[in-house]
Amino acid sequence: MEILRTIYAEDMEDIATGGAILGTGGGGDPYVGKLMAQQAIRKYGPVQLIDIDQLPDDALVVPVCMMGAPTVMTEKLPQGDELINAFRALEKLLGRKIDAVLCGEAGGVNSTTPFVVASMAGLPLVDGDGMGRAYPELQMVTFSMHGVSATPMVLCDDKGNSLVLETVSNGWTERLARAATVEMGGSALLAFYSMSGATAKKAIVRGTLTLCAALGQTLREAKAAHVDPVAAIVDKLEAKVIFHGRVKDIDRRTVGGFARGTARFEGVEEWKGHDFRLDFQNEFLMAERDGKVLVTTPDLITLVEAESGLPVTADSLRYGLRLIALALPANPQWLTPAGIELVGPRYFKYDVDYTPFFTD
């Protein structure tokens, strides 16, 4: 099997940073995820990153991720064994060996959790994910648009509890798993969406982990060369700067297993005199400038520190932070009618239709 690259512990710094940029404010604390992956790789060995086309059509591919409110994840750290326990329990349920690990979403923790399992299990990790970004609900993956069932699913918590779900739809999986996650203390580790290699070749967003690594490297090299790190990210992602300002107000609360809220900014420098607002549910989902809707999901909205270019998550927003807001184009799968129905602004109860921010 041809290997794209071998991932060592030191590589996780770039991957975690890049994942947090793509994570649109969600996916958990990248620092926590990085430490988990580095610890696993140092103990169990490096991870082989492969292209999905390297797997046979009858291979069994399983994604893993962490579920819950990011604000809880930073306070209730995983012990380290929950992910592999969920993975092995699902393998037992399926009655056959899993051939490769897949990333559920790009995000701070969830870009790195698959490396933990791949290292501990000694399995290759597919270069891709189910979103190309982060979304707050389990059914919000490209896998859903290709008929892949989220169940059987195994959830594990830090206390040693595990739960198996079999549901009638991916929407019901989200509802029941979310309720269980709340009871588990606000976060859980899970293995789900098992699929064949043939299905994975159609259903995944390709190249996500390579892009995460490249983004982290771009930021690191820009800072080392004393060039504008934000400009380097913008160039790498073909992104657009949509605001530069300071956080002036945050309304954030943990409700039903999500971190929900609104952040407001006042403009600085070229944006002085302008206002900016972000609505989020774990992830940044809608941006308004001067009272007018500017960008909505599924296009990506991300925040970076104005000086360092480092990504800022929704749960780490603080009064007075000077940040730059970027808009990034969504993966084309999300721009289909099925994609808009699954993750468009009206799903999240925003009274606006999706209007593409990026046009050809």
Rounded to whole angstroms, the Cα distance separating 193 from 104 reads 9
Mean pLDDT of 32-36: 89
Other residues' Cβ atoms within 10 Å of the Cβ of residue 356: 13
Please give the share of the chain, as a percent, with pLDDT higher than 90.
82
Alpha-carbon separation of residue 148 from 130, 167, 180, 199 (angstroms): 11, 12, 22, 8
Return the residue matching tokens 């329990």: 89
Residue 108 confidence (pLDDT) above 60 = yes
The pLDDT-based confidence of 70 (bands split at 50, 70, 90) is low
What's residue 185's pLDDT? 86
Residue 195 confidence (pLDDT) above 90 = yes
Mean pLDDT of 6-33: 92
DSSP for residue 166: -
Q: Are 17 and 219 in contact (CB under 8 A)?
A: yes
Average pLDDT over the chain reads 93
The pLDDT-based confidence of 80 (bands split at 50, 70, 90) is low
Total residue length of the chain: 360
Residue 91 confidence (pLDDT) above 90 = yes
What's residue 33's pLDDT? 86
DSSP for residue 132: S
Residue 196 confidence (pLDDT) above 60 = yes
Q: What is the pLDDT of residues 214-253, one digit of tens each?
A: 999 999 999 999 999 999 999 999 999 999 999 999 998 8
Pull the structure tokens for residue 290. Answer: 């001067």
Alpha-carbon separation of residue 51 from 127, 128, 200 (angstroms): 6, 8, 11
Residue 28 confidence (pLDDT) above 80 = no
Pull the structure tokens for residue 14. Answer: 């770039």
CA triplet 50, 170, 17: central angle to 5 degrees?
40
Rounded to whole angstroms, the Cα distance separating 114 from 37 reads 8
What's residue 113's pLDDT? 92
DSSP for residue 207: T
Q: Which residues contact 358 (CB under 8 A, 6 or more apart)?
A: 240, 299, 327, 329
Mean pLDDT of 259-263: 88
Q: Are 62 and 191 in contact (CB under 8 A)?
A: yes
Rounded to whole angstroms, the Cα distance separating 297 from 335 reads 10
Rounded to whole angstroms, the Cα distance separating 171 from 176 reads 9
The pLDDT-based confidence of 359 (bands split at 50, 70, 90) is confident
The pLDDT-based confidence of 290 (bands split at 50, 70, 90) is very high
Domains (range + CATH), the chain: 5-208 (3.40.1610.10), 227-343 (2.40.390.10)
Helices (H), the chain: 12-22, 30-44, 70-73, 82-94, 113-121, 170-183, 197-203, 208-224, 229-237, 337-343
Determine if the peptide bond prior to 329 is cis (ω within 30°): no
Q: Are 303 and 13 in contact (CB under 8 A)?
A: no
The pLDDT-based confidence of 1 (bands split at 50, 70, 90) is confident
Return the residue matching tokens 């012990």: 79
Distance of CA 84 to the CA centre of its chain: 19
3-state secondary structure of 110: coil
Pull the structure tokens for residue 187. Answer: 């976060």
- Secondary element (H or E) of residue 305: strand 300-305
Residue 158 confidence (pLDDT) above 90 = no
Rounded to whole angstroms, the Cα distance separating 17 from 2 reads 26
Rounded to whole angstroms, the Cα distance separating 41 from 327 reads 33
